[in-house]
Structure formats: structure tokens, C-alpha cells
A and B are shown apart, each in its own frame.
Chain A
């Protein structure tokens, strides 16, 4: 009987103690909780389960059997796994590097005063980004059709070359997939660069012009240095995005993923959802996770270094 009267005063005290700031905190947490609840169900749980699965063999229906590191041994011994990593990096480079350069030039053009109907162009360049990937992939499979009447093949045919079987050509498949990525993401990056360029004060350019700087010098000494954080952001996003390329090869190969263009995610998809080998698929997912971490770390180190050099520049 004794403890009871003792507890009620303490809770009373606690209730009284719940100050406005605590209440605000609770309110805040409740407001953000829907995201965290949904994230833990649909994001965190699958992630942790995938780590767990990587050490088991499972077909989705039967019992799971512990396999230790066997799943990793199997994928590391598979030449196609290494090929898929190589493909992912190659497609990433082919799709991202030219894309960022062209996006930069486009943004520069759209920002300049000489171009008419700038708003129309801005909307037009952003359009591909809001297009469904599946629609893009289907469209590009027609452009890069294996038959001689495909758009690219008929152009090649005009110069007297034989039609290319894109789905079975080492570089043809990669270029076709990379060009989908190029086309779809160029608008997104252009808009980011454009936003960055618009934040640059015109005075800088005017001063440079007074000093007799030409267009290239303005670009080299004003635009690029100021845009550095924007460029780093796009490189960062591009790297992660290109490591996860999946829909494009799947649609381009019509579900029949060939070694010429299979990416890491497509490789794990094939294991998991075509053959129901969830163990090796999860192991591949973990390897991909580590790969993305490594690439992100490299990016981060790069960013930090740039940040330092900027400071030095400011103090000088």
C-alpha cells in the first residue's frame, strides 16, 4: 500500500514538469512519425531482412537453409557477376560524363541573354525527366532496333554499313542503355546548373567584361568555380543513380537479360524474381551496398578537399 501514494505525486510532478518545450518535442515527433513508421516497415525491415537472407538459401516458399558465405562464394565465382559490375560502371560513365558536360553547356545557353523563348526551352528540356522510364525504354528500343529499319540502323545504312544487332553487341547495348540515361536525366541536371548560374551575380560578369575577359574566360574563372558545389552534387547523384540502373536494360532486352548489358541490379533481379534464388540475390545486394558506400566515400573525400581549397582561396 505504501508505494502507491508515493507514485502518484511523482507522476503529478512529472506532468507538471512537462514544459512547453517537451510538448513541442512530442508534437514534432508525432508529426515526423508517419515517415519513420512507413520507412521502418517498407525500407528498414526489407534492408535488414536482405542482410539476413544473404547467408541463407531460400526460394521464397520453402524453408530457409543456412548457407554461411556460400552465396558470396557463388557470385564471386560467376564471371557474369563481374561482367555486370563492369557493365554498370561503363554504362554509368557513358551515360553520366557526357550528360553532365552537355547539361552544363545547355544551362549556360539557357541562362544567356541571346537565346529567345528561354522559358519554353527550360520546360522542354525538363520534359524527359517526368516521362516514365518504361516509356523511354520502349521508345529507345525502337530507336536502337536490331533490324535494318531501326532508326539508328537506317542512318548507319545510309553510309553503307551493315545493321548492328544492338542487343548482342558489346558496345551497342551499352551505348543504347547509356543514351536512355543521358536523355532522361539531362533535363534534371540542366535545371540544377541553371539554378546555380542564376544565383551568380551579374556584377561579376560585368566586372570581368570590363577587364576584357572573353566568353571562355568568364566560364572558366567565374561560372565553373561558383558552380562547384552544384557540380559535385550532380556528380554524386549521378554516381549513385548509375550504380542502380535497372529498368532500362530490363526493357531494352525485353526481359532476356544478356551479358552485353546486364547491370548489377538487373543481375540480382534475375536471381531473385526470375529464378527465386533469394540468397544469392541478397548477397549481390550487399556487394552493391558496399560498392555504393565506397563510391560515396570517394565522392565525400573529394568534396572535403574541394571545400578546403575553397577556404584557402578565400583567405588568400
Chain B
């Protein structure tokens, strides 16, 4: 009899141990009267250092910053929000991912209820609008950093093509996309190199200058009738058919190698791409420069800090994030980690204005991107944005690699988009 109980006890013990694994320390329990805020971030933000400074000023608040790789971070967050349990008090959401939560207002605290309306004027309009519902009544999150896009270019390739290498001169020579086409042909004729690394970035650059993309604010699919998007597609297809678009997909080894070797003339990328260029082409200092791209700029990347509904300390969390994202602290994040500020006031600060980067030929890259940030068009994306984008990219891939007919590929892509959206 005793033996039996011993065995049972071991069995039960094992089970509770296993069950115990699922119940982590995610619950925010006040320790000695302290408010504990769990914060989930991804990438290198440096927010843990700022949190320490905040905790010194506010001894009754304890902030636990947990950083995870971007993909895992968003999967974990989606699962927690879907289950309605296990989400942190503060969650960072990337600008592309925030579209997924358009319908999920019940999972987030409306920051307007906590006074976000007073902060709106601090931030760029378009950035603020992406983080709020289309009527502006519901604010999901406060903007952290942004990714205004500009034109990175290889000095040596541009020079070989017979174009001016000074940033301001090149920008005025390439004022329109028609100029850019001519430039592309020159680059090809003189150097044999493509003008861009791949079809995606040229399409995105032109797409981002449109005022409407794939869905309207009522979430209706408008991509097929949208002449601006079609123009972006046709422009990209035209450059492809002229043989001036490279075949180095983003994030592949050959893409990075191309950056180091200067296998293409321009890279239409955002502010945070500076770190990527430096990392991939450490020996090309002075060969990469930045200037504004033809006809305006777009935005790629950046994040928002949200407060999931289940947080017990939404007010304390709001206090902290509104402090973290003030123009002054955004300047700190810019200096520490290169996060590009979403607060235009920061652009006026002396340290920002006198910023130079030796790698990029000693120019003030921050100013180039600040100018770009002012040009970004306010646009509504919608929760199925990436689905539509993926199908258009596939069409352009087919034109690029399989010699597909642009019109037919476009029509096929539209059919696939409608087919997939039926599943919603």
C-alpha cells in the first residue's frame, strides 16, 4: 500500500512539474508595492537602458524588458493576444504587423483614453495615422522609430555612368522617374550593371508615392482600379524589360555581396538600411552615398508601442511609453542605436543637425532622411496588405526571371488576390 502511494506521489509530482512549465512568470505581480511592467521588444532598441533611467526616477515602477527575434516576437504576441492571456503590459509591434490587428480593437487599450490625443502634435502625421484606426478615434500605439526611404548610390558606378556624384547634384539630375529610366540605360550601357538590386525596391519606391495603395479606408480591394499602383507596376516591368533590374533578392547572400562589390548603382532603402550597408560592405566606406530619390519618399519599417487590453497597469505603462518616446528620448535612441525619430521636433535639435557619417562620405545622412520623412504620403494599408504585395511581387518575379508578359502576369496576380481574399 505504501509503495503504491509513493509511486502515485511521484507521478503526480511529475505531472505538476510538467504543468508548471506552462505557467511562467508572465503575471505582473506587485513586489513590495512595486508595479511590474512586462515589456516585449524586438531588435536592438536600447530601451532597457532607458528603462533603467526611468526606474531610477520612478522607484515604484519596475520594468522588465524582454527582447526576442522579430519573427518570434510577433508570433508570440499574436498567439498571446489570440488566446487572451499571456500578453505583456507593453508590446512593440512592427509597422507591417500592426495591420493584422486592425479589427482587434478589443485586444488593445485605446491610448486616446489615456491622453494620447495631447501627444499627437509631437509626431509626424502619417506615422500617427498608421498607428490609429482609420477614423482616428482609436490609437493602437505610440510611434517609436520610422524608416523614411532615400536613394543610396554607389559613387564609382554613378561616376562610370557619367553622372555627377555629389548628392545634391545627382538628386537634381534624377528629379523624375523619367530621368531615372535614362540613368538606368546609361548605367547599363557604360558599366553593364543594373540600376537597382531587385524589382521589389523599385516597385516599392514608386508605390509609396501613391496616395492610395491596395485597399481603401473601408477595406475594399481597389488595387485593380488604382492607376498609380498600375503605373508603379508598369514602370518596374519596363525597367525589367530594358534589362536594367538586378536579380539579387533582399537578404540573400548575393544581395549583400552586391553591396560590397558595387554590382548595382542605386539602392532605394530606408534610414535603418545604413547599418545593413555598413555591415555588408565594410570596405566600401566613401563609396556609398545617400541622397533623396526621384519624386518623393516612402516609409519602410518602424514600430509602435502598444498596451494590450489585459494589462492591469495600463496607466503606468502609458506613463512610461509616453516618456520613452518624447523628442528628447528619441534623440537618445537615435544616438545610441540609430533609431530614426518619429518626432519632427528632434530634427531641429543641434546634435541632429550637426550629425555626420564618415562612412557615407561625411555627409549628414540624418538630414537626408529627415527631409524624406517630411515627404512621406499618408496612406491606409489594411490588414491583407502583405497578401496583395506578395502576389504582385510574384508577378514581377515572373516577368524578371521567366520572361512573363507583364499584362498577363498582372491579371493573374489580380485573380490570385481575389481568390485568396475570399477566405477571409
Chains A and B belong together in one complex: yes
Binding site for B on A (CB under 8 A): 23, 26-27, 30-31, 33-34, 37-38, 57, 59-62, 71, 74, 77-78, 80, 142, 145-147, 149, 165, 168, 254, 256, 258, 271, 273-277, 279-280
Q: B397 touching A61 by the CB < 8 A rule?
A: no
Q: Which one of B4, B11, B387, B398 lies within 8 Å of A275 (CB-CB)?
A: B387
Known: A34-B15, A74-B422. A275 touches B384 (CB 8 A): yes
Q: B254 touching A145 by the CB < 8 A rule?
A: yes
Residues of B within 8 A of A71 (CB): 423
Q: B100: CB under 8 A from chain A?
A: yes
Q: Which one of B11, B78, B419 lies within 8 Å of A31 (CB-CB)?
A: B11
16 A-B contacts, Cβ less than 8 Å apart?
A27-B8, A33-B11, A34-B15, A38-B18, A57-B424, A61-B100, A77-B419, A146-B247, A149-B254, A168-B397, A168-B402, A256-B390, A256-B394, A274-B390, A275-B423, A277-B420
Which among A26, A30, A61, A149 has the greatest number of chain B C-beta atoms within 10 A?
A61
Residue of A with least CB distance to B415: A79
Known: A38-B18, A57-B423, A60-B78. A30 touches B254 (CB 8 A): no
Considering the chains assembled together, what is the distance between the CA atoms of A34 and B422 in angstroms? Answer: 42
Closest 9 CB pairs of A and B: A277-B423, A61-B104, A30-B11, A280-B423, A165-B401, A60-B82, A168-B401, A62-B103, A147-B254
Q: A59 touching B103 by the CB < 8 A rule?
A: yes
Residues of A within 8 A of B384 (CB): 275
Q: B254 touching A61 by the CB < 8 A rule?
A: no
Nearest-CB distance from B65 to chain A (Å)?
A: 25
Known: A57-B424, A254-B251. A30 touches B8 (CB 8 A): yes
Q: B70: CB under 8 A from chain A?
A: no
Name the interface residues of B55-101: CB closer than 8 Å to any CB of A. Answer: 75, 78, 81-82, 100-101
Q: A61 touching B11 by the CB < 8 A rule?
A: no
Residues of A within 8 A of B4 (CB): 23, 26-27
Considering the chains assembled together, what is the distance between the CA atoms of A77 and B253 in angstroms? Answer: 38
Known: A145-B254, A256-B390. A275 touches B401 (CB 8 A): no
Residues of A within 8 A of B249 (CB): 254
Residue of A with least CB distance to B386: A274
Q: B354: CB under 8 A from chain A?
A: no
Considering the chains assembled together, what is the distance between the CA atoms of A254 and B253 in angstroms? Answer: 12
Considering the chains assembled together, what is the distance between the CA atoms of A26 and B394 in angstroms? Answer: 59
Q: A274 touching B252 by the CB < 8 A rule?
A: no
Q: Which one of A57, A60, A74, A256 lies within 8 Å of B393 (CB-CB)?
A: A256
Interface size class of B (residues with CB under 8 A): 35 or more
Interface of B, secondary structure class, is helix
Interface string of B236-252 (1 = CB under 8 A from A): 00000000000101011
Residues of A within 8 A of B422 (CB): 74
Residues of A within 8 A of B397 (CB): 168, 258
Known: A61-B104, A275-B423. A33 touches B247 (CB 8 A): no
Considering the chains assembled together, what is the distance between the CA atoms of A31 and B78 in angstroms? Answer: 36
Q: B424 touching A277 by the CB < 8 A rule?
A: yes
Q: A168 touching B82 by the CB < 8 A rule?
A: no
Q: Name 13 extra pairs, CB < 8 A, besides A60-B82, A71-B423.
A: A26-B4, A27-B7, A30-B11, A34-B18, A61-B82, A61-B101, A142-B253, A145-B254, A147-B254, A165-B402, A254-B251, A256-B390, A258-B394
Q: B381: CB under 8 A from chain A?
A: no
Q: B107 touching A61 by the CB < 8 A rule?
A: yes
Residues of B within 8 A of A276 (CB): 100
Q: B387 touching A74 by the CB < 8 A rule?
A: no
Name the interface residues of B1-38: CB closer than 8 Å to any CB of A. Answer: 4, 7-8, 11-12, 14-15, 18
Residues of B within 8 A of A31 (CB): 7, 11
Considering the chains assembled together, what is the distance between the CA atoms of A37 and B14 in angstroms? Answer: 12
Residues of A within 8 A of B7 (CB): 27, 30-31
Residues of A within 8 A of B401 (CB): 146, 165, 168
Considering the chains assembled together, what is the distance between the CA atoms of A275 and B393 in angstroms? Answer: 16
Residues of A within 8 A of B81 (CB): 61
Q: B423 touching A61 by the CB < 8 A rule?
A: no
Residue of A with least CB distance to B402: A168
Residues of A within 8 A of B383 (CB): 59
Considering the chains assembled together, what is the distance between the CA atoms of A273 and B247 in angstroms? Answer: 28
Residues of A within 8 A of B247 (CB): 146-147, 165
Q: B82 touching A254 by the CB < 8 A rule?
A: no
Residue of A with least CB distance to B387: A275
Interface string of B393-417 (1 = CB under 8 A from A): 1100110011000000000000010
Residue of B with least CB distance to A79: B419
Residues of A within 8 A of B423 (CB): 57, 71, 74, 271, 275, 277, 279-280
Nearest-CB distance from A74 to chain B (Å)?
A: 6
Residue of B with least CB distance to A60: B82
Residue of B with least CB distance to A276: B100
Residue of B with least CB distance to A61: B104
